[in-house]
Structure 1
Amino acid sequence: MDRLNQSRGQNHAQSRGQSRGQSRSQSRGLVSSSFLQSLDVIGTQVFAQWPNFTVEEEYRIRFDPKSNLSSNTFPARLFFPKRSSLQYDNGSAHRIKRMLTRFPISDASYLVASIFTLGAAIFVANGFFLLLPIIAPQLTFNGEAMYAVPITSVVGTLLFNLGGYAGWLEGLNWKRGGTPNITDAVTITVTDVSNAGRKLPDVEEAKETGSISDTDSIHGILVPQRANIPMVTTKAIADEMMASPTATWEPALIGSEEFVWWPTMRQFRQTYRHDPVFWAGLVQWIGTIVFAIATVVAVPGVIDFSNQPLFFFADLLPATLGGVLFVVAGLFQLYAAQRKWYLPAFKSLTWHTALWNTIGSVGFTLAGGLLYISSTAATFQATLATFWGSSAFLIGGLIQWYSVMGNYP
């Protein structure tokens, strides 16, 4: 009897343990299934609009001015605002506000303006530190000649090199983004042969194949003929468009399909060798590289300044040559901004930018060249030229920055 009761008790305990284990496993299963269902619901709600494109496509869309996706978020509106091919006259206050609140880093013209402005401001500080011991010796401080002067010179030169490279990119892409607009309401479809994304016949190839009658080359640009427009009219309009400062080109933005980082030889022959904007960017970039040699050599401890031939050859020569290249680039900019080379375009902000850049370039040239005279008066004028030359570059950069923001309404 006792054994029977014990066996019954054991069976009851086993069945009760099994039932508890089953209930626990069932509860765990319910919890697990409910958790998975919750994840499915969350995934459906949150990831339903997950974009179906690669990182490269997202990068292209983010930079594409025609994409609507680039204006939805605050960072996109801040760094990738929509650029218009026409300038808006919203008032000076509006443009100044845009200068402080919009940073279109995909626009090479903006990069040139902003980087050169910052670099010129640092060079103004450098010129001030150079003038201080001459005009107010009592205000000099410890470490001025050893640290303040070389640091501002190196940082300013670095920014000028970045701005020079951006200027080279600007010259490559300043009329690759679309059809120009003319204020007299005459618009012509002009296709830049340098555009690698558009498959157009080479002028020389067209001559060889006899298909030149389908297109006509105007200033290195292929202009398709239209059946209802005589070729003489097309040429006249295109010549006026190329010479008119009122024609507004839309530059290609960094990251777009039309943007190029380096031209091919065919592109150079057919388009860029006739373009003063291209030559202005290229010469200015080379000038910043040459000028950087003088900046590095002028750092204390690099060379022996008591060795006059070495000082003249390694420091003053690249400084002067860099300034001369800046002047040449400024003259190219002035020529590109004018309808005729002998008629100043006083109403054009681009012309004023080029004018102040040229003045600043003359200052940088004198800052290096006058030191060859080795006199106290020449040294003072060379130091003064560094200051007013940097100030002129600062004014030119601010004008260009102000002008560029007119394309961002």
Structure 2
Amino acid sequence: MRMFTEFAYWDISFWVAFLFTIGCLIFIVASFFYWLPVAYPSTKFPKETTIGGGVLFFVGATLFQVGAIFLVFEAVNENQKGCFGWAVREVFYEADPSSCTHHHQRKHQGNDQLLHPRWQWWPSWKEISTHYIHGIGFIANISLAVGATIFYISGILVLPGIYSHLIQGVLWGVYWLSYLVGSVLFVFSGILLLLETQEKWYKPAPNVIGWHAGVWNLIGAVGWILSASFDYCSASWCEYQSDLTLLWASVAYTIGSIILWYEALDKYPVYTKKT
């Protein structure tokens, strides 16, 4: 299976999917450290939630944040995703990203077309206002990136030595709120990405692999909203449901990210020497 034999470092889409997948897997492990002591108190051990859960959640959120930055680069390089490696090389060496070409299978076309992309780290405001802002994929990616950045606030505050010193007002107004708002933006982004894969907004597209990724990511994002919402409840069952929801939501988002990882490997960048 190519997912285990090919490391497509040159492809920005690969990095986004890879970082989100690893981050979600870490969230799954962290959620076990949160949920198990509540569900099975006999399994509890010292610093399980603060170190095991808190530190791992921070690491997962950090990977999500890095993936979000890459997601912005992906959003402004729609047809140049395979040239990320050449663009990075240009930063440190005298490489020419314009010599990077890759085959990209366009929708509704049977033949591969050879594209000659021009990588850009950030477009001009004119390009954003006249072109990118009208693309549903761009809005979806930017929304997810902003959501991941807001979500990262909760990842920082959950660290040992910080979380234990947070007063209730900060927990409600900053920690859980950033968790909730970030998840809401994940849902918004997921809906847009689903719509992008469908020919008609009301007609599902199960024959499109990206649609399945969007469905699973949307399920995961909704779960994270529920998990954050349960945190505003003080009853004992709320803590149980919050931690359990974090677990299954992370599993769902992991599935979606793995599908994106698989989809990202459907491109074959090659390096063409100038003559």
TM-score for both structures, normalised by structure 2: 0.82
Q: 2: distance between equivalents of 1:250 and 1:353?
A: 24
1:81-123: CA deviation from partner (whole Å, max 9, x where unpaired)? xxxxxxxxxxxxxxxx211121111211111111111111000
Q: Is the 8 A contact 1:245 1:338 kept in 2?
A: no
1:263 counterpart letter in structure 2: P
Equivalent residue number for residue 36 of structure 2: 132
User: Equivalent residues in 2 for 1:9-408 (5 A)?
Assistant: 97-176=1-80, 246=108, 258-302=118-162, 307-408=167-268
| Deviation of 1:265 (Å) | 1.2
1:141 counterpart letter in structure 2: F
| Deviation of 1:376 (Å) | 1.6
2:31 counterpart letter in structure 1: G
Q: 1: distance between equivalents of 2:51 and 2:6?
A: 34
| Deviation of 1:175 (Å) | 2.7
| Structure 1 pair 133–177 and aligned structure 2 pair: CA distance change class (3 A) | closer
| Structure 1 pair 137–111 and aligned structure 2 pair: CA distance change class (3 A) | same
TM-score for both structures, normalised by structure 1: 0.56
1:274-333: CA deviation from partner (whole Å, max 9, x where unpaired)? 111111111111111101111212223225567322210121111100110111111111
SS in 2 for 1:406: coil
Q: Is the 8 A contact 2:27 2:250 kept in 1?
A: yes
1:128-147: CA deviation from partner (whole Å, max 9, x where unpaired)? 11111022222222331231
1:173 counterpart letter in structure 2: N
| Deviation of 1:251 (Å) | 11
Give 5+ residue unaligned stretches, structure 2.
83-97, 99-105, 270-275
Point out the structure with max Rg over C-alpha.
Answer: 1
Q: Is the 8 A contact 2:55 2:160 kept in 1?
A: no
Equivalent residue number for residue 36 of structure 1: none
Number of residue equivalences: 247
Q: 2: distance between equivalents of 1:319 and 1:339?
A: 33
Q: 1: distance between equivalents of 2:202 and 2:140?
A: 18
| Deviation of 1:249 (Å) | 11
Q: Is the 8 A contact 1:173 1:252 kept in 2?
A: no
SS in 2 for 1:402: helix
1:338 counterpart letter in structure 2: Q
| Deviation of 1:247 (Å) | 5.4
Q: 2: distance between equivalents of 1:151 and 1:157?
A: 10
Q: Is the 8 A contact 1:176 1:252 kept in 2?
A: no
For the aligned residue pairs, the C-alpha RMSD in angstroms reads 2.7
Q: Is the 8 A contact 1:327 1:362 kept in 2?
A: yes
Give 5+ residue unaligned stretches, structure 1.
1-96, 179-196, 198-243
Q: 1: distance between equivalents of 2:125 and 2:6?
A: 36
| Structure 1 pair 247–378 and aligned structure 2 pair: CA distance change class (3 A) | farther
| Deviation of 1:159 (Å) | 0.5
| Deviation of 1:342 (Å) | 0.9
Q: 2: distance between equivalents of 1:158 and 1:367?
A: 19
Q: Is the 8 A contact 2:80 2:117 kept in 1?
A: no
SS in 2 for 1:396: helix
| Deviation of 1:151 (Å) | 1.3
Q: Is the 8 A contact 1:108 1:170 kept in 2?
A: yes
Q: Is the 8 A contact 1:337 1:348 kept in 2?
A: yes
